[in-house]
């Protein structure tokens, strides 16, 4: 696992907690099952499309979600 992928999962989890959004709510937005979101978070299997849609959902940049720039939690 690369550092960026680990950072992505960590950042998604941080955003979920800070916005008090459940994995189920994120899964519904993405059109996934809750189990699929959990697997992606633990296995860091995010596609570029996943990352882009998650960034849109939380209104953050893709670079910050990937850990390439600081993540500002709103």
Please report, for the domain that includes residue 27, its CATH number.
1.10.260.40
Q: What is the pLDDT of residue 5?
A: 56
Q: Please state, as a whole number, how many other Cβ atoms lie within 10 Å of the Cβ of residue 68.
A: 12
pLDDT of residue 43: 78
Q: How many CA atoms lie within 13 A of 8 on its CB side?
A: 24
All residue ranges of the chain with pLDDT < 50 are 1-3
pTM of the predicted model, to two decimals?
0.85
Residue 13 lies in a domain: yes
Q: In the prediction, which pLDDT does 7 show?
A: 82
**pLDDT, position 1:** 41
Number of domains in the chain: 1
71 falls within a domain:
no
């Amino acid at each position: 696992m690369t550092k960026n992928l680990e950072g992505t999962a960590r950042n998604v989890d941080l955003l979920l907690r800070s916005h008090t959004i459940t994995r189920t709510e994120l899964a519904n937005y993405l059109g996934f099952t809750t189990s699929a979101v959990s697997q992606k978070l633990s296995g860091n299997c995010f596609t570029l499309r996943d990352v882009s849609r998650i960034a849109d959902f939380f209104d953050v940049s893709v670079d910050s979600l990937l850990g390439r720039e600081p993540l500002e939690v709103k």
